[in-house]
A and B are shown apart, each in its own frame.
Chain A
């Protein structure tokens, strides 16, 4: 039974990380209808930035609390900056191009960013500093759930609530919803669609950066390639929940996280990634609109 609960908890942890990344996919897709292949790389850049900042600060002897805050903020700022720039360079000029063009451009961006980090930094795995201390109150249940799991779950919940608030009640959030529903209409009622798109990329990137920081300190190491698999998995989660739907992305992520956790725990850990990919292929074949997405008839 303990094993089951342990798998359940680690599944939730995984799932909430996926959710932080999946939200970026789903929001961008909802607004410009593009699979942002480079989103996984934004997450990786977030992890790398927080690694660099945290290590520098710890070398210069800053206290842990300061390190965590500064590293988190830096990761969010730079990831957002990358997300914003990627949109401006690789997607904006192609907004009216044939449908294959932005996809190819997105894949190119993904490869470009991966190799940029590889060349600018290193191809080795790097040890990520321990940012989350072992809480003493966790000790009695440490065999089931660790401190970092708790921190991740809590942070994710807070971030989700903040995002919900932002989308429901703020001006930019309302503009985002309007644009997602009907871009032409949004333009007509005077919404600055370019600004909304940029905001979407920035918010999505910041969320991914937080995910990057959390997962890196949880696992304890990073390298330039972590974004690729994480990206596909988060995308799977977004599709599972129904791409374009924000609650869907969270639900899909939790389901994917739990599935992976149980499958690796009870079946085999060799095929960890195969489970996710197979799930992706199966959903797209049998229910491409996902769990919470609505099947739309394209207007002709």
Chain B
């Protein structure tokens, strides 16, 4: 497993002033794998995503990415977020960060930015190449919207969407950057059971198309049914890792979740 993984994180540490939000964390994701990262609120899961995507600069540790297409290895520490996205890692945000003053379609088109290239002159002269690229952007974005079931609302403002639809739009926007690794931060939060069920289908479909997925989620039913492997964090540390069946009976995990509304036993 180790030598085939596309993401290898070792010893990742993040300090904020006195607080250690991540403490020597190790984690790996293999190609086309669905890996879940769980843990109580404040455990440091979102911080982990932020370090991975270059939004925070980790204090120590190593993040390595291996492109499944080219097999090329690269170190992500210290790279700017846009460089990391270009390398094939895309994410959604726990506290939805859509461009609310732009239409749904435009939100997805923004995701195409790093896979397109026209600049000032192209925009002014509107050359054949630019026009082709622009139409391609529109068509591909529309296809993605169809996939997540938002094509009907393509020209609505993003802010007019329902909560669940906004979460799906976040996924669509991330997919538009053509990632091989997709990071989802609590994608089911605030969704009703029907929406959650649709989300499961969507995530599986995305995996089947060849993307690996790293998922933060509190909905244990979803986590247990989807994940190939689960990592559990508490207070910045990894306290367990393994297949869903193992995690379900892990004592440390049960202890960490004691008192939480939705322990792993609810699954």
User: Residues on A close to B: CB < 8 A?
Assistant: 294, 297, 300
- Is B93's CB under 8 angstroms from A297's CB? no
Nearest CB of A to B22, in Å: 13
A300 near B55 (CB under 8 angstroms)?
yes
Inter-chain CA distance A300–B55, complex, in Å, is: 8
What are 8 A-B contacts with C-beta separation under 8 Å? A294-B17, A297-B16, A297-B56, A300-B46, A300-B50, A300-B55, A300-B56, A300-B93
CA distance A297 to B17 in the complex (A): 10
Contacts of A300 in B (CB 8 A): 46, 50, 55-56, 93
Per-residue A-contact encoding for B44-58, CB less than 8 Å = 1, 0 else: 001000100001100
**Bound form: Cα–Cα A12–B238 in Å:** 55
Question: Least Cβ distance of B58 to chain A in Å?
Answer: 11
Query: Across the two chains, which residue of chain A brings its CB closest to B17?
Result: A294
Main secondary structure of the interface of A (DSSP, over half): loop
- Contacts A300-B46, A300-B93 given; 6 further ones with Cβ under 8 A? A294-B17, A297-B16, A297-B56, A300-B50, A300-B55, A300-B56
Q: Which residue of A lies closest to B97 (CB)?
A: A300
Given the complex, which residues of A lie within 8 Å of B55, measured CB to CB?
A: 300
Q: Point out the residues of chain B lying under 8 angstroms from A297, CB to CB.
A: 16, 56
Which residue of chain A has the shortest Cβ distance to B50 in the bound complex? A300
Residues of B within 8 A of A294 (CB): 17
Closest Cβ neighbor of B185 among chain A residues: A300
What are the residues of chain A within 8 A of B93 when measuring CB–CB? 300
Shortest distance between the CB of A257 and any CB in chain B (Å): 31
A295 to chain B, nearest CB (A): 10
- Closest chain-A Cβ to B186's Cβ sits at a distance in Å of 14
Of chain B, the residue at the smallest CB distance from A297 is: B56
CA gap between A300 and B93 in the complex, in Å: 8
Shortest beta-carbon distance, B261 to chain A, in Å? 21
Q: Mark B17-51, 1 if CB is under 8 A from A, else 0.
A: 10000000000000000000000000000100010
Distance between Cα atoms of A294 and B15 in the complex (Å): 14
CB distance from B183 to the nearest CB of A (A): 13
Min CB distance A187 to B, Å, is 19
| A241 CB to nearest B CB, Å | 19
Compute how far the CA of A298 lies from the CA of B16 in the bound complex, rounded to whole angstroms.
10
Tell me which residues across on chain A come within 8 A of B50, comparing CB atoms.
300
* C-alpha spacing A297/B16, complex, angstroms: 8
Which residue of chain B is the closest to A298 with respect to CB atoms? B55
Q: Who on chain A is nearest to B93 by CB?
A: A300
- B88-119 interface bits toward A, Cβ cutoff 8 Å, 1 = contact, 0 = none: 00000100000000000000000000000000
CB-nearest residue of chain A to B55: A300
B 47-77 contacts with A by CB, 8 A: 50, 55-56
Which chain A residues border B46 with CB–CB below 8 Å?
A: 300
Report the minimum CB–CB distance from B53 to chain A (whole Å).
9
Bound: A20/B46 CA distance, A: 42
Closest to B94 in A: A300
7 interchain residue pairs of minimum CB distance:
A300-B55, A300-B50, A297-B56, A297-B16, A294-B17, A300-B93, A300-B46
Bound form: Cα–Cα A114–B152 in Å: 53
Nearest Cβ distance between residue A97 and chain B, in whole angstroms? 13
In the complex, what distance in Å separates the CA atom of A300 from the CA atom of B96? Answer: 11
In the assembled complex, the Cα of A156 lies from the Cα of B212 at a distance in Å of 63
CA distance A297 to B93 in the complex (A): 17
Determine the chain A residues whose CB is within 8 A of the CB of B17 once the complex forms: 294
Distance of B229 from chain A, by nearest CB (Å): 26
What CA separation (Å) do A297 and B55 show in the bound complex?
9
Output the nearest chain A residue to B95 by Cβ-Cβ distance.
A300
For B46, the closest partner residue in chain A by CB is A300
